[in-house]
Chain A
């Protein structure tokens, strides 16, 4: 598998580290215990399109948000995660 880093270009998988699901959103303060439990522990095991965080630690050390199909490993989009690289996301 290869990932096209928006800053570095196409690179081998070995330069990247997988963090996990990019979908969970931190619940607001005062959220119920169930909501927090869900956010911290519960993950969907999706067969198909997923949204994930990856880290280009062996390259430009930028966090990326990647849309990947777990059935085919096809990557349909790669974008810098929030705050990564002002040049691309204006943060």
Chain B
């Protein structure tokens, strides 16, 4: 019998080249950082159980779950709206996995592990919003898309979950983007093309925040 071992790899392992990209001789306007090795569980209320899920999840996470396109920060997880009566639980270090969440939430909800089904990219920098405006049709102006705002939307015909995290220490806005793993390479190249004229700093990180 053959022996198998599963090695999890980033879907951007080959596409992502850390360092500088695009315009040189200017301060990079866009910073693209892939976040690796996260736990991502999608929680969807069973029919008629949305209120029960909200109650149970509130007890579990200590915060009210998002019931509109927003993100809610719990102590050790980020809850991201992904559609009506459903949300993602994003965390690190095995705190919120299928094993730990299912016993608590599987009564009122169905859970599915998306940890290796999505790539997570953090987009920031002085020209981040300008770059995203080339690709996204939604309004990302601070007044329309403040910190904590989220959207299930499409970029370059690809479904993404986009949300605004806390600002960087230098005050720059931070956009987080979850994309299906198999589309990650394509969207990555699209974003690099859109950002090249502003100068790009490319990196990957293990840190969520």
Contact of A86 among B48, B137, B152, B154 (CB under 8 A): B48
Size class of the contact patch on chain A: 20 to 34
Interface majority SS (helix, strand, loop, mixed), chain A: loop
A44 CB to nearest chain B CB (Å): 31
Interface size on B, residues (CB 8 A): 21
Interface residues of B in 151-180 (CB under 8 A from A): 151-154, 157, 159
Docked-complex contact B153 and A84, CB < 8 angstroms: no
Contact B50–A7 (Cβ < 8 Å): no
* Complex partner residue of A59 from B49, B50, B153, B157, CB under 8 angstroms: B153
Q: Does A11 sit at the interface, judged by CB under 8 A?
A: yes
A47 to chain B, nearest CB (A): 29
Q: Is A15's CB within 8 Å of the partner chain B?
A: yes
Residues of B within 8 A of A91 (CB): 47-48
For A14, the closest partner residue in chain B by CB is B154
Instruction: Assess whether B185 is interfacial by the CB under 8 Å rule.
Output: no
> Is A8 a contact partner of B151 (Cβ separation < 8 A)?
yes
- B89: shortest Cβ distance to chain A, in Å? 18
Interface residue? A85 (CB, 8 A): yes
Q: A14-B157, A59-B153 are known contacts. Are A88 and B137 too (CB-CB below 8 A)?
A: no
Closest 6 CB pairs of A and B: A85-B84, A58-B154, A86-B50, A60-B83, A12-B137, A60-B152
